[in-house]
Structure 1
Amino acid sequence: MRRLWLLFAQTVTVCLGILFIVATLRPDWLGSGTKAPAPATAPAPAAPGAAASLPQASYAAAVAQATPSVVNIYTSKHINVPLIPTPADPELERLFREIPGFSRRKESTSLGSGVIVRGDGYILTNFHVVEAADAIQVALSDGRESRAELVGADPESDLAVLKINLPGLHSIAFNGAHPVRIGDVVLAIGNPFGVGQTTTMGIVSGLGRNRLGINIYENFIQTDAAINPGNSGGALIDTSGRLVGINTAIYSETGGSLGIGFAIPAHAAQTIMEQIIQTGTVTRGWLGIEPQDITPDLARAFKLRQSDGVIVASVQRNGPAWHGGLRVGDIVLKIGDEQVVDSIGFLNQIAPLPPGQAVTLTIARDGKARDIKVEVGTRPRIRRP
């Protein structure tokens, strides 16, 4: 038995030795060896133009759609330039200006941008672009030029409407029911520094910006698309080529773009434009009061539980609020069913109301709430010097 076991052990040892030699020298005999990897073949060179089929982020179609509607505006006007240094005192300056030879008239030119909003020649731009201009010239993207007529302006929103008489004009499409959202990609088209029509890209950085001291009625779109001098009045469009705003101002300490630009929303600009085209002016509701925000100190002084609403700081004699019985110190809480939040919102709530309409104001007086009916008047127009 022991002899058989030794014979078995020797046989197994010899077989394992043979298997090791075969696996090392001729693994293909076993059929389980790993095959050497095939050499990698180089990819075939791409055919000419194949890269164009790859998806790319391009806004060329939107720019091509909107560009023919954006125009360059050149204005000229005559200004009085003093020949000697002007005194700092306003009264002395007025007296100096009456001295013969104190100043001479000089022609001043400026540039801006505009947007063709109707095929019959109406152009929307900023009021400050054409303010006090003696002559306005418009240059189209196709090279044509035309003298423009000022149809009307609204200094309180910094908008103006021009009219040119040229055939084959391409009007821009408004964004209409497509709301603007923070984070949307937008493109600014205009004529910065007079270098020619230029397109810049950014996103919508904020909505409803106000208290900037630019206009009386402020409700700006903020964008980081580069806006520079000369872009004023140009188009802010979405990625479909629709108009979402009129580029108006920038925040800058150097005069150049720092990534904070402001545009008037297209729907607000369209409403004002239509009024100017129809009547030559813009009519806004007016109550004849000066509203003041409720600060925490005022809220404690008036023993208010909330800071919403506005305090009546002054009432114009014989104005709508005067006749309605509103007093200084009253706190306006609601206009009709709408809550009043602050003075800026209050002005924007009053402005759309048609003159002659009776509106109910919910106020707080002597710690008690009461309703007062006021007939809305017409806001007096600002007279520019």
Structure 2
Amino acid sequence: MTETIHPEAPRRRRRIAGTLATLALASTALTGILWQQGMAASPSDTPPAIVMPRAMAPSSFADLAERVSPAVVRIAVTGTASEPQSDEDGKNLPPFMRRFAEPQRRVRGEGSGFIVDPSGIIVTNNHVVGSAQTVTVTLTDGREIAARVLGKDARTDLAVIKIDADGPLPTVAFSDDSSARVGDWVMAMGNPFGLGGTVTAGIISARGRQIGAGPYDDFIQTDAPINPGNSGGPLFDLHGQVVGVNTAIFSPSGGSIGIGFAIPSSIAAHVVSQLREHGSVERGFLGVTLQTLSPAMAQALGRPDRKGALVAAVEPNSPAQQAGIREGDLLLAFGGTAVVNAGAVARAAADAKPGESSTVELWRDGSSRTVTLRIGTQPQQQREANAGQQSGPQSLGLALAPAPKGADEAGAVIAAVQPDGPGAEAGLRPGDLIIRAGNAAVTRPEDVIRALASARSGGKEALLLQVARGGQHSFVAIPLKAA
């Protein structure tokens, strides 16, 4: 039998095939839609892919910049900045970590700031104004006004200055940074390289960064380009509120590579309030040396996670010792708030007022218990009030504690380092273990005191310390003429 093929048949077959293919694609698309909505077209144990609604990026930051820029100022100083800032200068910051003010060897420096009160109250970094002889603020309208320093805090690198203008000035306000999330848009403003008002934008790259700048590290990391001269400038959220104070960058060259750090507004607002009112910051004191748990430590303690802070040392006659806290205890909560790591306890204790009582939940011998302690006053604050009479390790800008029981090496643990003290200038950090002082081995803090007294009585200009850090030993010389 001969098949008769209609001339239109091949085209008809192609149309039918095309229609079937279209229906197949439509079916596949429909299946994907149903699957995304949680209604799989066919049974399967494969979990659905995470599908988020498409977020719209800001079409422009122009309106935001125009609204907040009048409150952002340029700060020029003459004299010397408070601290050397580069890694070559041997300060606390790790290699490649730099702040933005001009180094101490310069006679002129520049930074940024922002107005938080119409009367002329301005927030900036401590290392911007430092020990400057003069401070001059330039407003966006071009006016240059002399400023005076109301207060500064080296531990958080914040300072408050004031100018007297002819009338009320435009202001910006701190935000509640607890709602700021990784991935949120932010905008930085300031005075990079002395060029004047500059706007850059990016996102929050990380929260809770610790960069070795001090005991209260809790930085916001951002990829918004910030450079030398941006110090003290604001990091804005999309509502025009200050979510952080730009203060440091990670950079091999000194310029921006997209890794900058800002002091969170929650810390800045608290410190600025005290500096405005008192000119200094009063902090609470517990008297413990704390460690963040490693996975092995958590397993050894029978804990399901790494949350908490392990007590490595307790200072004699401290609030912690008086409350019955012991070495080896794991602090789980402070003042009713769960403890995430050692830094969280340091910040919470610092924010507490001396004389107040606080509850501490801790883990000991496989069970939890709660103790009550009375917050003390930071010994450093007491030492600063009597700086001329110092003769112990505090005159080196160090607070020492005994090495924890069972430690690999004997020595004296550095519990705290004064940010602008001789110890900090020599590169010492909290947690370092002093194992030799002068020519003698160290088994307890008193050995350092004896070595210091011997060095002074012998007319030496420096005290040589051998320090253990991360399993490595090194020698550090601390000048005594500055102590």
Q: TM-score, normalised by structure 2?
A: 0.59
Q: Find the aligned partners of 1:225 and 1:106 in 2 and give their Cα distance.
A: 29
Q: Is the 8 A contact 2:295 2:305 kept in 1?
A: no
- Matched with 2:187 is 187
Report the secondary structure of 2:362's partner residue: strand
Q: CA deviation at 1:276?
A: 0.9
- Matched with 1:60 is 62
Report the secondary structure of 1:346's partner residue: helix
Q: Is the 8 A contact 1:158 1:215 kept in 2?
A: no
- Matched with 2:362 is 363
Q: Find the aligned partners of 1:359 and 1:317 in 2 and give their Cα distance.
A: 19
Q: Which amino acid aligns with 2:350?
A: A
Q: CA deviation at 1:300?
A: 4.2
Q: Find the aligned partners of 2:291 and 2:110 in 1 and give their Cα distance.
A: 38
Q: CA deviation at 1:111?
A: 0.9
Q: Is the 8 A contact 1:174 1:266 kept in 2?
A: no
Alpha-carbon distance change, 279 to 211 in structure 1, aligned in 2, over 3 angstroms = same
Q: Find the aligned partners of 2:334 and 2:244 in 1 and give their Cα distance.
A: 28
**1:45-124 aligned within 5 A:** 57-77=59-79, 108-124=107-123
Q: Find the aligned partners of 2:304 and 2:188 in 1 and give their Cα distance.
A: 45
Alpha-carbon distance change, 64 to 211 in structure 1, aligned in 2, over 3 angstroms = same
Q: Is the 8 A contact 2:214 2:419 kept in 1?
A: no
Matched, 1:196 2:232: no
For residues 226-248 of structure 1, what are the alpha-carbon distances to aligned partners after superposition, in whole Å with 9 as ceiling and x for unaligned? 10000010122234433222111
Q: Is the 8 A contact 1:236 1:263 kept in 2?
A: yes
Q: Which amino acid aligns with 1:281?
A: S
Q: CA deviation at 1:67?
A: 1.4
| Mean Cα deviation higher: 361-370 or 252-261 | 361-370
For residues 74-120 of structure 1, what are the alpha-carbon distances to aligned partners after superposition, in whole Å with 9 as ceiling and x for unaligned? 112259xxxxxxxx9xxxxxxxxxxxxxxxx9762111001111111
Q: Which amino acid aligns with 1:215?
A: G
Larger RCO (CA under 8 A, 6+ residues apart): 1
Report the secondary structure of 1:351's partner residue: helix
Matched, 1:340 2:376: no
- Matched with 1:9 is none
- Matched with 1:96 is none
- Matched with 2:288 is 289
Q: CA deviation at 1:284?
A: 2.3
Alpha-carbon distance change, 234 to 360 in structure 1, aligned in 2, over 3 angstroms = same
Q: Find the aligned partners of 1:296 and 1:280 in 2 and give their Cα distance.
A: 42
Q: Is the 8 A contact 1:219 1:265 kept in 2?
A: yes
- Matched with 1:137 is 136
Query: Kindly, what percent of the aligned residue pairs are identical?
Result: 41
- Matched with 1:52 is none
Q: Is the 8 A contact 1:62 1:238 kept in 2?
A: no
Report the secondary structure of 1:325's partner residue: coil
Q: Find the aligned partners of 2:110 and 2:239 in 1 and give their Cα distance.
A: 27
Alpha-carbon distance change, 242 to 75 in structure 1, aligned in 2, over 3 angstroms = same
Q: Which amino acid aligns with 1:365?
A: R
Q: CA deviation at 1:306?
A: 4.0
**1:100-249 aligned within 5 A:** 108-174=107-173, 176=175, 179-206=179-206, 208-249=207-248
Q: Find the aligned partners of 2:291 and 2:118 in 1 and give their Cα distance.
A: 44
Aligned residues: 305
Q: Is the 8 A contact 1:174 1:244 kept in 2?
A: no
Q: Is the 8 A contact 2:210 2:219 kept in 1?
A: no
- Matched with 1:280 is 279
Q: CA deviation at 1:304?
A: 4.2
Of structures 1 and 2, the larger Rg is shown by: 1
Q: Find the aligned partners of 2:243 and 2:303 in 1 and give their Cα distance.
A: 40
Q: Is the 8 A contact 1:333 1:361 kept in 2?
A: yes
| Mean Cα deviation higher: 108-117 or 352-361 | 352-361
Alpha-carbon distance change, 297 to 109 in structure 1, aligned in 2, over 3 angstroms = same
Q: Find the aligned partners of 1:116 and 1:167 in 2 and give their Cα distance.
A: 15
Q: Which amino acid aligns with 1:191?
A: N
CA RMSD of aligned residues (A): 2.5
5+ unaligned residues in a row in structure 1: which ranges?
1-55, 80-87, 89-104
1:384 aligned to 420, 431, 436, which one? 420
Q: TM-score, normalised by structure 1?
A: 0.73
